[in-house]
Structure 1
Amino acid sequence: MAIAESAPGVPADAKTLFGHPRALFMLFFAEMWERFSYYGMRAILVFYLTKHFLFAKDPSYAVYGAYTSLVYVTPVIGGYLADRYLGARKAVLAGGILIAIGHLMIALFEGPVGEQGIYLNGFYLALATIVIGTGFLKANISVLVGQLYARNDIRRDPAFSIFYMGINAGAWIGPIIIGILGETVGWSWGFGAAGIGMVLGQIVFVVFQRELHGVGRPVSPELLRKPVVAGLSREWIIYIAAFLSIGVAWWLIRSEGAVGLLLGGFSALTVALIVYLAVWTLPRVERDRIFAAMFLVALSPLFWALFEQAGSSLNVFTDERVDRVMLGWTVPASVFQSVNSAFIITLAPLFAGLWTWLAKRRLEPSVPLKFGIGLMLVGVGFIVLVAGATASGNGLTPALFIILLYMFHSMAELCFSPIGLSSMTRLSVASMTGLMMGTWFLATAAGNFIASVIAQATGGDNAGPDQVLHVYTSISWFSIGVGVLVVLVSPWVKRLMHLDLLDAPVDHAMLGEAGLAEPAAAGLDTRGETRTR
């Protein structure tokens, strides 16, 4: 069995910036504008449904949950198509174009207040276009970051923290600009700004993608260009199928129950596929790493179910029950969605430096330990908010407490999300990197769906004032309890990661489409064990 040809990666003599390949900063800016669009639109989505289309809270939360879930389901398919055919670079470009079109479509389908019909269906169609575009872009731009570094490169976690700053720079600016435009000038102005931001992101990616060198190219360009049906190449068949799938996404956004069934079935099939590939195609060490990665993935839905209250129930809580008057100006509730990202931008360099400083002294917490800490911190954030709301009695909750909640959630996110992104690429093999990254986002999709269920549990338009606080209290203590359990089992999970063998000759870039190259060529002995240098 021949070794599959892999992407050459960034050459050792390629120019760097602050010790990292310059491609990292190109991806930083491309992702920044994509997140500007997504988080800015996300900040006003529930308000657009309740204040423009005059939806009640519960159906608004349902649409929000269905959309945000699908945004994280489709990267599983996009990751697989990039692994097998397109390559991450083409996938990111195609996805970005669709996302830009979707955002601009929303601006064109506003219509009169309260009028639904064609305007509401046009809005759903635009959301569906964004969903399919995100499927191509979301997982694969993170894969490109991971492919810039060797698996044992100590710059990997700091690189993902830097990349995460790009995400949060966009997520910080987006709600401020799009929120103010949408809530005070006009909804189409806000959504139009999101579309323009996405176009800027694509310009950055196209103009500077040469910095990627060979990273992210198709596995087999000849196979991709070869005509298959009616003179159409595999590449164009993929694009046409993506266009047709927009109709499926349009129907799913309108059907929260169908999204739940899709998530359950898709998750089961994906986990079964990964387990099959791990057990039957990988040596023991690589198999253990995949199982460790799946443990991390399993924790993701709980974290995101709590964290993603931000765009739904916490957004409405801020609008209705937080004192938002500052210096005589009533700050739009959507603008508070930028607080989390402001903390991320502030704290990310400190966390990146902390991890590096501890790693050099062999004191860095393990990845599962960081996850346990993150789960505890996200629970603490809700406890702080409940305490502030309870102390205020029947009055408005001081804005300080919602800000403190986002501070704790930001610290939790830095222990969870960038570390998870890095771990999916570090623990995976080449033929499964996109699939594993997509599975990470699939778990995030499950978290978003559960988040919509929690948001609806906080009560609709007729719920009592204590209902939301009761729900927040329950989920906070549950998350803290799970976090403690994760901390206790973290040493066992760390052993499954085989970190001492990351510099062994076996490299995920050397594993072919079946998941494993020839044992001798890949640096394995005849028992499938990894040899150390």
Structure 2
Amino acid sequence: MASAIPKASRGSGVPADAKTFFGHPRGLFMLFFAELWERFSFYGMRAILVLYLTKHFLFAEQPAYAIYGAYTSLVYITPIIGGYLSDRFLGPRKAVLAGGVFITLGHLLLAVVEAPQGVQGSALNGFYLGLAFIIVGTGFLKANISVLVGQLYARDDMRRDGAFSIFYMGINTGAFVGPIAVGILGETVGWSYGFGAAGIGMALGLVVFVLFRRELYDVGESPAPEKLASKPIAGLSVEWLIYLGGLAGVAVSWWLVRSQGVVGTALIVASLATVGYILWTAVAKLPRVDRDRIFAALFLIALAPLFWALFEQTGSSLNVYTDQSVDRVVFGWSIPASVFQSVNPFFIITLAPVFAAIWTRLGRAGREPSAPFKFGIGLILVGAGFFALTLGAPAQGLTPAIFVVLLYMLHSMAELCFSPIGLSSMTRLSVPSMTGLMMGTWFLATAGGNFLAGLIAQATGGEGAGVERVLEVYGRIGWVAIGIGAVVLVLAPFVTRLMHLDQLGSVDHAMAGQNELGEPGAAGLDTRGEQVPRG
């Protein structure tokens, strides 16, 4: 039922008298549905990407994995740029809208450039161009829609983790339906029908965001509207120059998506530059409490590449393993391999309320595990998932589908200990002037994980490789994840001290304070999202 926002949350980005739905600002549910359709398009397309390359363009497994790894890395690198442009110029609202337009164009392009099987040439270049549009669009959208969720709440608002869990359920609802709809259409009707369905999904997300954006009130507006409207070059405003820069980014991404080595180098350079800048800012400009929190956030970020390198076998080597080595026949119907990628979001949807209830109950008792401890649990679970598959696979013949389902269940439990907690921690631990950058850095670490995932997938394939090679690689990476997870559990109390959780609501904190009108701001943000000076 709708009600006024409780007094405990005053100081959030929405007005104190704004309506709520089930205790949360209604803007949360608008973002929920917008992200649902964006994830429908992304995960639906991802489910058939490697299969499309190997079955339609007739790529060998290793080059298909290389393209997949380069693409999935790039969609998590570009949020660094999108986060920066949002922090300085566009604001999250305009960034999300621009990203949705680019992504829609990319998916629709994939749907119309299909050529006969085995024919590459211009059709393959058109396919790369569609991926490039999606890469740039994701850069504008992905980090900034999460920032919008965070800005709806004060930093010390107890509803924040619950809000991100709700938001994460929106992500996984789209991720659940996408592979089923797009996978069945793509594998059984025609690849262009699958890609077309993904494009329609993103278009629906755009419609939801535009029609109900009023529910965000002032949250997410441009931090510098006067700069955005200025016209420094040829009568073009800064805003339109940014959008034209996005088109230039499409051209660059079109080239990079085929160049795994260049992407790897770019990841290293981007990581060193970004983390170096964050560390310099933390040491040189931030007070001790803020500096410690940034250090804690960077510790969490450092764990992301390993987690996602294992988890993201889903769309590459595990997808092909399911297609070639798993008994998928149920009641006489052979389930398309891509449909199995809906098992993970199914478990997320069903288990997320359980985990949210557990965290809430433990929190009320003062016993909720810290974010670092949850990360350690997540790493152990993702490693255990691979053992479920390696131990269940028979010496000969097809692997029973139940063991793939068990792997996805353990990975889903791991994800609930990792991803929503990471999203919430980035917005909670950063300072306002760096929120988009920190969220972008989180996705940069995810990009590194996706790149490593491509390398791991390539290690499972190659000439003469069989099921034994795949299971051997899975066993090794499983042990690595479990070992590092155990170390993280030991270090968790020390990292938690750096988070200074007892001071999140303190008025002398850099993120607490008033807006430029002298009224309570959004977690210390003024109406433009800038950091408010203390005093």
Q: Deviations over 1:24-68 (max 9, x none)?
A: 010000000000000000000000000000000000000000000
CA positional deviation for 1:245: 1.2
Aligned residue for 2:407? 405
TM score, norm. by length of structure 2: 0.94
2-side partners of 1:308 and 1:141: how far apart? 22
2-side partners of 1:106 and 1:461: how far apart? 30
2-side partners of 1:485 and 1:241: how far apart? 43
Closer/same/farther in 2, CA of residues 345 and 404 from structure 1, 3 Å limit = same
Aligned residue for 1:349? 353
Which amino acid in structure 2 is aligned with residue 318 of structure 1? T
Aligned residue for 2:202? 198
Task: Please say which of residues 404-413 and 226-235 is displaced more in the overlay.
Answer: 226-235
- 8 Å CA contact 2:12–2:152 kept in 1: the answer is no
CA positional deviation for 1:514: 13
Aligned residue for 1:528? none
CA positional deviation for 1:146: 0.4
1-side partners of 2:531 and 2:120: how far apart? 53
Equivalent positions of 1:55-454 (< 5 A) are 55-389=59-393, 392-454=394-456
2-side partners of 1:27 and 1:243: how far apart? 26
- 8 Å CA contact 2:432–2:531 kept in 1: the answer is no
CA positional deviation for 1:357: 1.4
Which amino acid in structure 1 is aligned with residue 266 of structure 2? L
TM score, norm. by length of structure 1: 0.94
SS in 1 for 2:506: coil
- 8 Å CA contact 1:281–1:514 kept in 2: the answer is no
Which amino acid in structure 1 is aligned with residue 410 of structure 2? F
- TM-align CA RMSD: 1.4
Q: Are 2:492 and 1:490 aligned?
A: yes
- 8 Å CA contact 1:98–1:132 kept in 2: the answer is yes
- 8 Å CA contact 2:183–2:339 kept in 1: the answer is yes
SS in 2 for 1:439: helix
Q: Deviations over 1:129-148 (max 9, x none)?
A: 00000000000000000001
SS in 1 for 2:232: strand
Which of 456, 460, 465 is the equivalent residue of 1:458? 460
Aligned residue for 1:529? none
- 8 Å CA contact 2:82–2:139 kept in 1: the answer is yes
Percent identity of paired positions between Structure 1 and Structure 2: 67
2-side partners of 1:517 and 1:46: how far apart? 47
CA positional deviation for 1:462: 2.4
- 8 Å CA contact 2:143–2:439 kept in 1: the answer is yes
1-side partners of 2:463 and 2:188: how far apart? 23
- 8 Å CA contact 1:260–1:449 kept in 2: the answer is yes
Aligned residue for 1:477? 479
Which amino acid in structure 2 is aligned with residue 254 of structure 1? R
After superposing on structure 2, the runs of 4+ consecutive aligned residues of structure 1 that deviate more than 3 Å are 509-519
Aligned residue for 1:525? none
Which amino acid in structure 1 is aligned with residue 428 of structure 2? R
CA positional deviation for 1:510: 4.0
Which amino acid in structure 1 is aligned with residue 404 of structure 2? I
- 8 Å CA contact 2:220–2:529 kept in 1: the answer is no
- 8 Å CA contact 2:510–2:531 kept in 1: the answer is no
Q: Deviations over 1:129-175 (max 9, x none)?
A: 00000000000000000001111111111110110000000000000
1-side partners of 2:172 and 2:280: how far apart? 36
Q: Which runs of 5+ in 1 are unaligned?
A: 1-6, 522-533
1-side partners of 2:501 and 2:478: how far apart? 32
Q: Are 2:15 and 1:11 aligned?
A: yes
Which amino acid in structure 2 is aligned with residue 429 of structure 1? V
CA positional deviation for 1:222: 1.6
Which amino acid in structure 1 is aligned with residue 349 of structure 2? I
CA positional deviation for 1:10: 0.5
2-side partners of 1:213 and 1:29: how far apart? 17
Aligned length: 512
- 8 Å CA contact 1:158–1:353 kept in 2: the answer is no
CA positional deviation for 1:516: 6.4
